[in-house]
Each structure stands twice: as C-alpha cells, then as structure tokens.
Amino acid sequence: MIDKSLLPQHVGVIMDGNGRWAKKRGLPRTEGHRRGAEVFRTISTYASDIGIPYMTFYAFSTENWKRPESEVAVIMDLFRDFLHEAEDRRAENEKRGFRFHFIGDLTVLPEDIRALADYMESQNPETWRTTVNVAVNYGGRSELVHAAREIASRVRDGALSPDAVNEQTIAELLYTRGQPDPDLIIRPSGEYRLSNFLTWQSAYSEFWFSDVLWPDFTTDDFDRALEDFARRSRRFGGI
C-alpha cells in the first residue's frame, strides 16, 4: 500500500504495443487493440478505486490516421463500443465517481462518434472522484497550434494584449484546461519517447517506462509505476 499523500494527482498513459502483442501471437493487429481496450477499462477503474483524481489515456494520435484503413476502422468501432458501454453503465460510473472528457480535435471523427462523445460529456455527474481523459485524434503540437491561433485571434480583435500573453494564457486554451499537469506519464512496450503526447503539460512530469506490452499491462505494473514515483524527489528546479 502506498501512502495516499504520495500518489500522483494526474497520470498520463501512452497505451502502446497492441499491434506487437497481436503479432507475437499470430493474431490480427486488431485483436491487440481489442485486448488493449479491455486493459484501459481495468486500469481506469483501478486508478479510481485507489484515489487518483485524473487519468489521461492516449487512445488515438493525429499520426495514427496513417495506419491501414481497416485498422483505423476497427479502432473507431472500439471507440463506439466504449461510448455505448459507458452509457449502459452510466449509473455504475456515476456511483464510482467517473467523469469522462475527450481531448483532441474531434471534428474529423465520424459524426455518430462525435455525437456520442458530446452526449457522454453532457451526462457527467456534478460531483466526481476521477476524471478520465480519452485523447482521440490528439497531438501535443496540434494542441499548441490550436491555442496559438486562438491567442492570435484575440490579439487581432483587440481582446488581448500581446504583452499580457503568459504561460497561464496558453494553459487555459489547452484541452486539459482546469486540470493539473500530469505528475507521472507511463509508457509500456519498450519505447522511450513521448510521441507528441501532452507536450506542454509534461514539462515537469516524471516518466516510467516498461517493456510490458499494453495488452499485458496489469494493476501490478501500475502499482510498480506508482511505487517508483513515490520514491522520487521532485524539486521543480529548486534544491
């Protein structure tokens, strides 16, 4: 058991390794994504149970559109399944204290998915224990471009002085506005990079990497990441 005061307030997870997991087993890559979706449900539920207020899962990046159309179609179907399942379990999710938030440019997603996501967010409970951010068609650089365009528009319209632009101005225009920056970012699968995930928000994040592929990731692995985080000294540039 970890002292709750040492738990991160916000954990970001790069769900990586689904395709390699399937390939190792002689299965279609899509089966890896199906298994990965199950692990997402397990970890988000566990995080809520132990008292982590914010979780952000990297589900689909702006670069993932480069994948084969058939694979993208399956991922979109899994997203639909998640949204329908969340609606079916609304009472259970409310009791657990889940609040769902979708970050990224959803305007290019299929219309039915956008409508389901909007409806799901509109049904969020007024009181909650854990916010689950699902990053779909998300890219950290794209997010910053979006913020920069909004700032430029406000300056052009005279609503904002260039001299008044500061870090807080930008933070308030990000998809995660109103939320703390991630204390910890977890990346399984043996890769050691951010891959355009929470580029601005991760400036002072701790990182935890594992060779475990996401479909094999367990609550024990999550605990190991939390235990490692609890042992770290975070000085934020101080002594």
Is 177 a domain residue? no
Q: 111 lies in a domain?
A: yes
Helices and strands, counts by H and E, the chain: 8, 6
Q: What is the pLDDT of residue 1?
A: 67
Radius of gyration from C-alpha coordinates of the chain: 18
| DSSP labels, 85-110 | HHHHTHHHHHHHTEEEEEES-GGGS-
- pLDDT single digits (tens) 178-203: 999 999 999 999 999 999 999 999 99
User: Which residues constitute the domain of residue 98?
Assistant: 4-139+182-229
128, 142 contact by CB (below 8 A): no
Residue 213, SS3 per DSSP: coil
Short-list 94, 156, 90, CA closest to 125: 94
Provide the CATH number for the domain around residue 207.
Answer: 3.40.1180.10
pLDDT at 58: 98
Distance, in Å, from the CA atom of 168 to the CA atom of 69, rounded to the nearest integer, reads 39
Handedness of CA 101, 54, 204, 188 (dihedral sign): negative
- 78 found inside a domain: yes
HSE-CB of 138 using CA atoms within 13 angstroms: 25
Q: Beta strands of 33-84 (E only): which ranges? A: 54-61
Domain-located, residue 29: yes
For residue 232, the number of C-alpha atoms closer than 13 Å in the C-beta half-sphere is: 18
Annotated catalytic residues are 16, 64
What's residue 234's pLDDT? 74
Cα-Cα end-to-end distance for the chain: 29
Return the pLDDT at 92.
87
Per the domain annotation, does 234 fall within a domain? Answer: no
Residue 161 lies in a domain: no
Query: Does residue 39 sit in helix, strand or coil?
Result: helix
In a domain, 207, yes or no: yes
- Model pLDDT, residue 189: 95
Number of domain units in the chain: 1
User: Which residues of the chain are under the pLDDT cut of 70?
Assistant: 1, 236, 238-239
**Chain centre distance of CA 70:** 23
Query: Is 211 among the domain residues?
Result: yes
